[in-house]
Amino acid sequence: MEGTRRIWVGLAVLAASIVLAFVVLWPRLAPREPAPRGPQPFVRADLPRIDVHVHVPPSRTADAVRIFAEQGVSLAINASGGEPDGGGLEEQIAASNAVGHRMLDYCNIDWSQVEDEGFVAYATHALDRCREEGAVGLKIYKALGLGYELSDGSLLAIDDARLDPVFAHAGELGLPVLIHSGDPQAFFRPPTPDNERYAELSAHPGWSFYGLRENGLPWPSWQEVFDQFERRVARNPGTHFLGAHFGNAPEEPETVARMLEQYPNLYVETAARVPEMGRFRASRMREIFVRFHDRILFGTDFQMGSRGQYVLGSSGSEPDPPSRIPFFYEATFRYFETGDRGFAHPTPIQGDWTIDGIALPHDVLADFYAHNAERLFHITIPAPEDRR
Ligand SMILES: [Zn+2]
């Protein structure tokens, strides 16, 4: 009797074990239904990022750096650093120092005195002062080529020979030149409803370079301004140029690739042009980024005004609400990091289209986001213990 009981108990334990094993293992062994392919939440790559093109005033530096950290940007370089010796640069550098160097600054200089005898002396001295005060580069606005009117009514050209020694001196000082030349090609076409940037031109009529200037002389064409930029890069091989807004030709990535091939002193950054770049064939854009992985840098053109107003790439007649900031960064990173197709780009007013991501390999992303900026500007991202 005892033996029979033991057998029954043994069988019961065995049966319980089989049931238990089935319950535990079945979910792992059963053929699985594919998960429904809804929109996948985007998670940005775990990489340090340096944004080489932002605009922030001294009074907003601490706020801006907080936003950058939240959005995965470890360090930013401010294109609105100001001019040395009382033109705002000292104040901005002090503000940047106060945030543990998580912001660095370009300086600006005044090109309007080019016809004066002492211009070259002024400009080269100003660059010396930029370096001494702690600027890491020189930023040149699109006004060079489109804004400085000379005494004969013409516009100061980017490749004007009088500027040669100034660009050469920037090279001698090791100050890279972030240069914005021209503007979107659509801004040089009639600002009519069929212009693809009509919304933006309607909000900012002054951004149009079509037709005649106020003095009755014609605006240069987009191509004329771009050719001046190219001749300047060619003329100063000892100076590092960082072509803003994807080399000032986001509509023509093949032109940008041709120039990167031709001029080893040229670098480009991506500020405010993901919407335009994202229209181009993603596979070819990826090839360009891989081919020039050491000379394409990450920039956004994030702008913050002294009253805290934001411009995220571009805006309408009103500044952008702060609620748009996370989307702006996410759409930007998504373009570089994923192969997603047909998603909304970061700056709606730049055009009514969607973009395709270029899925950069991890090592290319690491160069693009940080290593290239570290090499070009001779900087390093502050270690966490240095941050205040
Ligand atoms: Zn800018």
Q: Which domains does the chain show, CATH number per domain? A: 50-382 (3.20.20.140)
Between the CA of 184 and the centroid of ligand 1 the distance, in Å, is 13
Between the CA of 162 and the centroid of ligand 1 the distance, in Å, is 25
Between the CA of 188 and the centroid of ligand 1 the distance, in Å, is 19
Between the CA of 19 and the centroid of ligand 1 the distance, in Å, is 67
Close Cβ partners of 59 (under 8 Å, ≥ 6 residues apart): 95, 306
pLDDT for 30? 54
Between the CA of 218 and the centroid of ligand 1 the distance, in Å, is 25
Between the CA of 350 and the centroid of ligand 1 the distance, in Å, is 15
46-66: pLDDT as tens digits: 999 999 999 999 999 999 999
For residue 303, which phi and psi values (nearest 5 degrees)? -125, 140
Other CB atoms within a 10 A radius of the CB of residue 90 amount to: 18
pLDDT for 387? 47
Between the CA of 52 and the centroid of ligand 1 the distance, in Å, is 10
In the numeric block, which tokens belong to residue 48?
A: 């340090």
Between the CA of 66 and the centroid of ligand 1 the distance, in Å, is 20
Between the CA of 231 and the centroid of ligand 1 the distance, in Å, is 22
pLDDT for 339? 97
3-state secondary structure of 11: helix
In angstroms, rounded to a whole number, what is the distance separating the alpha carbons of residues 325 and 67?
9
Between the CA of 139 and the centroid of ligand 1 the distance, in Å, is 9
Between the CA of 288 and the centroid of ligand 1 the distance, in Å, is 23
Between the CA of 179 and the centroid of ligand 1 the distance, in Å, is 10
Global pTM exceeds 0.85: yes
Between the CA of 246 and the centroid of ligand 1 the distance, in Å, is 12
Between the CA of 301 and the centroid of ligand 1 the distance, in Å, is 5
Between the CA of 165 and the centroid of ligand 1 the distance, in Å, is 25
3-state secondary structure of 322: helix
Between the CA of 3 and the centroid of ligand 1 the distance, in Å, is 89
**Residue ranges of the chain with pLDDT lower than 50?**
387-388
Element at 291 (helix H, strand E): helix 282-291
Between the CA of 4 and the centroid of ligand 1 the distance, in Å, is 88
Token look-up 């100034």 returns: 166
Between the CA of 278 and the centroid of ligand 1 the distance, in Å, is 19
Say if residue 19 is exposed, middle or buried (CB neighbours under 10 Å; 0-12, 13-18, 19+).
exposed
Between the CA of 383 and the centroid of ligand 1 the distance, in Å, is 27
Between the CA of 161 and the centroid of ligand 1 the distance, in Å, is 26
Between the CA of 27 and the centroid of ligand 1 the distance, in Å, is 54
Between the CA of 70 and the centroid of ligand 1 the distance, in Å, is 21
